[in-house]
Every structure is written in C-alpha cells, then in structure tokens.
Chains A and B, each alone.
Chain A
Amino acid sequence: MAQKLFRDPLYDYIPIDKDSWLLELINCPEVQRLRYISQLGLANFTYPGSTHSRFSHSLGVLHLMQLCLSYLKHTYSKNHFKLLNEEALLAAALLHDIGHAPFSHATEGIFGNHEERTVEIILNPDSEVHRVLSKRAKSLPLKVASLIAKRLPMGAKQPPLWQKSLISSQLDMDRLDYLRRDSLCSGAEYGNFDWFRIIHTMQLKEKVIEGKQKGVFVVWLDKSKYALEEYIFSRFYMYQSVYFHHTTRGFEGLLKQILQCAQDIAKNNNSFTKALLSPMKILLGGKEGKDLTKFQKLTDHVLIAQVTIWQDIKNKTLSDLSTRLLCRKGIGWEPITKKVGFEIADKTTRVREYLKEKELDNNYYFFEDKTRAEAYKPYRRAAEPKDQSPVNSIMLFDPKWTKAGETGFREITQVPGLGRLSAITEVDDTSSILRYYFPKEHEREIKKLLS
C-alpha cells in the first residue's frame, strides 16, 4: 500500500499507510488540535527552541508503537498475543494526549486531568475519533480507553498490564519519544539514549506474583542494562535541567495563578464572564467545563489571546499578572530543601502578611511549587519488591537470579553493576524541593522572611 510520509526531526520519516484507518484517525479534528498545544508548556520562556507541539510527539509515539509491536510479533508466537489488541495499542499511542488543555501540564490544575479528558473524548459518541474507532470495530473505543485510563471505564475489561505498560509506565513509548524530542527541540542535549536497542531487546516473561496469580512482564536481559541505565540518567538530567527548571516552573505557576484569579472573578461578575472568549468559558466549570465542543477550540492561541485582553481589564491584579506573564517580567523564587510545606507554614504566613501590606493580593502573587507532585517525575521504583509491576518498575530478567528463593526478576536498581543508579533514584535532599515564587521586586524582603 502507498504510504503517507511525515517528516520528523527524530525519526526522519514516519510512514503511515495511505487509505488506512490510522491516517483517518490522524486527520480527526481532536488529533489535529494537538498542533496548537505546545508539548512543553512554557518551557520556551527558558529554552526558546521548545516550541514543538503535542501533535509531533503523538505521531512519534505512534511510530515507536508500530516498531515495538512489529518487533514483538516477529519475536514471539501467537500464544503470547492471545489478548493483544494491536489496533487498540496503536490508537492509544496516537490518542493518549488528546485531552491536553493549552500549554499541556501547565494548566492541568485548572482545566482538569488530561487523561480523564482523553478517555471522555474517546468514549463520547459525538467525537470524530470515536466515530473512526467504532467504524473499525464497535468495541475499539472502550479498548483504547481502558489502555489509557487510570481507572477502568464502566463495562471495560482490564487489559493485560504489560500492554498497558507500553502506553504508560516507567519506560513506555511516550517517554521514549518525549525525552529525545524535548532534548532535541530545547537544545539541552541530555536526553539521548539508545532507544532502538531498548525497543528491540524487550522480552516478555511470565512471573508468578502470588499463589496462582501470574502476570506477564516486559523485561530486558543483562545485555541491555547499560542502554536502560543511560535512559534513566537521561531522564534524570532532563527533569533537572528542563522539566524542573525554576524559571519555567515559575511562569507556568504564574499562568495558573492568572487562570485561578479569572475563575474567582467570574464567580461574582457577570460582565466579566460574558466577555470571556467562548472556549475560555470552560473555566467556569459545571456544564460549561464539560463542553467538548468548547474544549476542541481551546488551544494555546486562544489562551494567549485571552490573557492579552486581560492586560487591559479593570481588575488591577488580573491585569498586572497578565502583563507580567506576557512581558516575561522577572519572577523571584526561593527553594526550600529538606522541608515540607506545613513545616514552614509560619514563615509563609508572614510572607502573605507582608504582601498584603504592599497591597498585593497574596492569593495570587505568592505561590508554591512542589516539583515532585507534578506529572513529570524522574525514575522512582516501587520500594518493595512485592509492589513492583510492569507499570511502576523497570525489570530485568536473568535465569541466574533464581537461587535463594529469587524469581529471576530484578528491578533495575538491584541489578549487579548498576549500583550507581542509586545516586539518582534513592531519596535525598533533592527529592523534596519546594519552591516559592513571588514578585521579583520584593525578592530581598521575602527571601529574608522565608530564611
């Protein structure tokens, strides 16, 4: 069959069969919308090259899933794939991000969890993606949704965890694409690793979990351990240098404060609500918040247009915060290590009082950022072996590890020769960084109050 070729900076070409249902799926408006959602939120405030979209990333994930399934089918007999739904995995790879709101994770706290929205769109009979999937097979939307959803949708069967792990786990097609793509586009060259080897040396092994319960794990053999180690280090460097960057996190926090402020104004101000750009009415929550037609039109451009309009609004706080964001005015910050939020509650209360004295609304001008609690996390294994699954841990297999009651499976940080991984996977000072942000012009006084 003739192929449609997408030019891609990572894989050179991504081929999709012309006249295929996948191409039809790519052409759905819900997928095309991802061209207008930036992959890295406001990371371009720090790394100006980070302007790539969720669309190119989603195509990349689809491409890797195609390679992965082709390798697995070539390597294993049909028995292993009794329950494999190849079409559902390919669709889930392409669609996994369609529920992202503008600037991706940056606005998730306001517009809601993207995975839940993705599942909602896939299961909605009015959506175009649902139509294309159901045309292929009536049960396909539910199968795709169950691969993506954290909580199994009503009426769906739990898909095998190893298949779910290809979509979302500590080492999935999503991460294999975004680490390298974000690295390339940001110019922070830490995200490189031998992705080809990782995909083409995967193994499927059955493990007895408990009593009669068995589960198939995606594992790697000893020969791939350095490729996996390189992946974990790359991931760590990318989190430290790009995803957790204090400037990016600060401006994303500011955007969230702006939206929070607008939401609060909208509660008691009809004229403000009426003046909102139509897709922005999702901010109002309730029925409006669930309106998928409005969501389809809610993109980075619409949000930026709205914030531009808010620069001239009467409300002094919203207008000032909007200008601070769009003009990228300096933002002050203070990191707090080895402490948790409630421990310094007295200090943060004093900062709030100080800002109040300066006639700055402390609900919006002072905010906290907990990097660890957000969507991006460096590799953290499940601490207890009994808690390890294909989803939460990267596992290796070696028949030698079957002595002394061992199962032959080991979580990667427990593999001989990889002890150095503990330097980035164990709990240390950097694992609980709290950051506080505030107006730059009050930096000296606020830092003193927080010290």
Chain B
Amino acid sequence: MKDYWLSKLISSVEKVDSRKRLQKSIYLLQRADCPLKCDYLLHYYGPYSFELADLIDQLKGAEIIKESADLTGYGNRRYISQIAGKGIHVLGEFEKSKTGKDLYAQIERFIPLFQELNKEDLWILELGATIAYYYEGNWQDAQAQTAGFKKIRKNDRNLLKATNLAKEFVPAN
C-alpha cells in the first residue's frame, strides 16, 4: 500500500516544490523506518529511487495527485506536486475502512517529520540524504564521503547542518 502512504504524505502539506525534495525526504523517512520501503541507488544528487518515481507517475496517472511545472532561476523545470481533489476524496473514503485505519496508524508518526522536511532547505536536504546513504556506523566517514562525492570542503558549515539532519532520521549503529 505504498500508493496510499505516499498520497497521505503529499496530502499532509500544501505542496512539495520539486520531485527532488520528494525523493530525498522519502529516503530520510525510510531510514527512520517509514513503511514505504522503495529501492534507492546513489546518483549525482544523492539517493534516487526509480520505484518512487514510478509511484509518483502512477498517482499522477490515477489523478490522485497533480503536478505542475515551474521554471527555476537557472531555466530548469521543476515539478510541484499537490494532492488533487479526487485524491482528497479517495483518501477520506479509504480511511473510513479498517484497512485504511490500520495503514494510517503505520504512517501517522511520519507525517509531522515529512512536514518538517518539506520546509527544509533543499541543499541541506540533499546533503543530509547523501550523508545518510553513506552512513555505516561512522558519521565522520559518511561526511567525508559526501564531501568527496559532492565536491565540497569537509568543514563546509552546511555539511555539519546536514549531518545533524541525517542524525534525526538514521538510527545510530
């Protein structure tokens, strides 16, 4: 029921300002044991999930969410996701059922976390997700690997902020 959980998270905020934000936020939530469990791999901007990208497409195709394109300052397009009218209705109906209530109970505690991530600076979020990806028991190693991967200084202040963000989601080994 990943489709329900993702719709529920998106419905909990006014909008998600880019697919990149959605990708990185869901990655961090998963590290905190969120039940979505999409497969991720590492690419230039940190952890990326084809499965999540497909899930977003499915929700869009079924008109549960709507996406609009926006031009960034650099001339790039980014896609803003929002819950659609049909999505609000369908979620409401589903949550009246026993299955809906059970699934809601599993995602409930992640909703405020997602809302916080939705307000986070996108660069910090991207760095935080990458640090979390590299973390295997040693935060300094993860920071160093991220600095190397993202070509930034190891003592970059943002790296420290991002590490603190990652620590909120990744259980210490």
Contacts and interface: CB of A to CB of B under 8 A. Distances in A.
Interface of A: 150-152, 154, 158, 161, 209-215, 338-343, 345-346, 349, 370, 372-373, 377, 380, 382-387, 389, 391-392, 404-406, 427-429, 431-432
A431 B61 contact: yes
B55 A373 contact: yes
Given A384-B19, A385-B77, A342 B94 contact: yes
Interface in B23-50: 23, 39-45, 48, 50
A414 B55 CA distance: 23
Interface string B54-81: 1101111111100000000011111100
Contacts of A150: 39-41
A337 to B, nearest CB: 8
Given A345-B97, A373-B54, A387-B20, A392 B149 contact: no
A394 to B, nearest CB: 14
A427 B100 contact: no
A212 B153 CA distance: 11
B108 interface: no
Nearest to B47: A151
Given A161-B44, A341-B3, A431 B57 contact: yes
Contact of B151 (A212, A383, A389, A427): A212
B3 A342 contact: yes
Given A342-B4, A343-B62, A389 B43 contact: yes
Nearest to B76: A385
B20 A384 contact: yes
Contacts of B88: none
B57 A213 contact: no
Contact of A158 (B20, B54, B77, B149): B149
A158 B42 contact: yes
Nearest to A215: B44
Given A342-B3, A404-B75, A427-B60, A380 B54 contact: yes
9 contacts: A152-B42, A209-B44, A210-B44, A211-B152, A341-B3, A380-B53, A387-B48, A405-B74, A427-B57
A341 B62 CA distance: 10
Contact of B50 (A215, A340, A392): A392
B39 A340 contact: no
A210 B51 CA distance: 25
Contacts of B4: 340-342
B44 A213 contact: yes
Contact of A386 (B50, B60, B78): B78
Contacts of B74: 405
Most buried by A among B42, B79, B97: B42
B77 to A, nearest CB: 6
B55 A389 contact: no
Contact of B41 (A151, A339, A341, A386): A151
Contacts of A158: 42, 149
A340 B19 contact: no
A154 B136 contact: yes
A346 B97 contact: yes
Contacts of A152: 42
A406 B77 CA distance: 12
A127 B99 CA distance: 45
Contact of B59 (A340, A349, A383, A386): A340
Contacts of A339: 62
B1 interface: yes
Contact of B54 (A211, A342, A372, A406): A372
A431 B20 contact: no
A339 B90 CA distance: 10
Contacts of B119: none
Contacts of A432: 57-59, 61-62
A92 B63 CA distance: 41
A156 to B, nearest CB: 11
B150 interface: yes
Nearest to B136: A154
B18 interface: yes
A143 B42 CA distance: 16
B76 A372 contact: no
B141 to A, nearest CB: 11
